[in-house]
């Protein structure tokens, strides 16, 4: 079977002063019951993390403001295998249906994810800084 795309790339992330791999993050998401898998024709089409717990990195936002301060869900670590078009939109819509107020963020050079957020009704709200002090573009969609 031909590989359709990279589902998850093992990279390192800094969090609270330590380095952890993507594999460790996904394992932790799974343990917390926050890792979701999107399946198409019995194949994994995408994965993402979703939680309704407040995200510590969203406490402060710069060069803008959040659309509201109501309780929200957060989507992180979305990855698509490339076997099905529209997977990212499907996953974001699923997240929105869970609580009607969703936040997410992405790297400045991740134009694909920026486009996915914007075409799915998310508004660019400003800049947040993750634990290792690197900036991310912050997005939110509300009812």
pLDDT tens, position by position, 26-85: 888 889 899 999 898 899 999 899 999 999 999 999 999 999 999 999 999 888 888 889
Q: What is the pTM of this model?
A: 0.82
DSSP label of 5: S
Instruction: Name the band, by pLDDT with cuts 50, 70 and 90, for residue 12.
Output: very low
Say if residues 79 and 8 touch (Cβ distance below 8 Å).
Answer: yes
Say if residues 68 and 80 touch (Cβ distance below 8 Å).
Answer: no
| pLDDT exceeds 60 at position 103 | yes
The confidence score (pLDDT) of residue 28 equals 87
Give the DSSP H/E element, type plus range, for residue 92: helix 87-99
Give the DSSP H/E element, type plus range, for residue 95: helix 87-99
Give the pairing type, strands 123-129 and 101-106.
Answer: unpaired
């Amino acid at each position: 079977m031909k590989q359709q795309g990279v589902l998850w790339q093992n990279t390192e992330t800094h969090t609270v002063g330590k380095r952890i791999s993507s594999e460790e993050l996904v394992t932790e998401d799974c343990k917390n019951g926050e890792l979701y898998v999107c399946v198409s024709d019995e194949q994994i089409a995408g994965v993402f993390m979703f939680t309704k717990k407040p995200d510590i990195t969203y406490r402060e936002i710069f060069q803008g403001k959040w659309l509201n301060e109501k309780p929200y869900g957060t989507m992180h670590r979305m990855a698509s295998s490339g076997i099905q078009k529209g997977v990212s939109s499907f996953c974001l819509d699923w997240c929105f249906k869970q609580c009607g107020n969703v936040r997410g963020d992405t790297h400045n050079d991740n134009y694909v994810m920026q486009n996915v957020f914007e075409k799915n009704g998310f508004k660019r709200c400003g800049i947040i800084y993750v634990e290792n002090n690197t900036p991310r573009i912050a997005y939110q969609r509300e009812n």
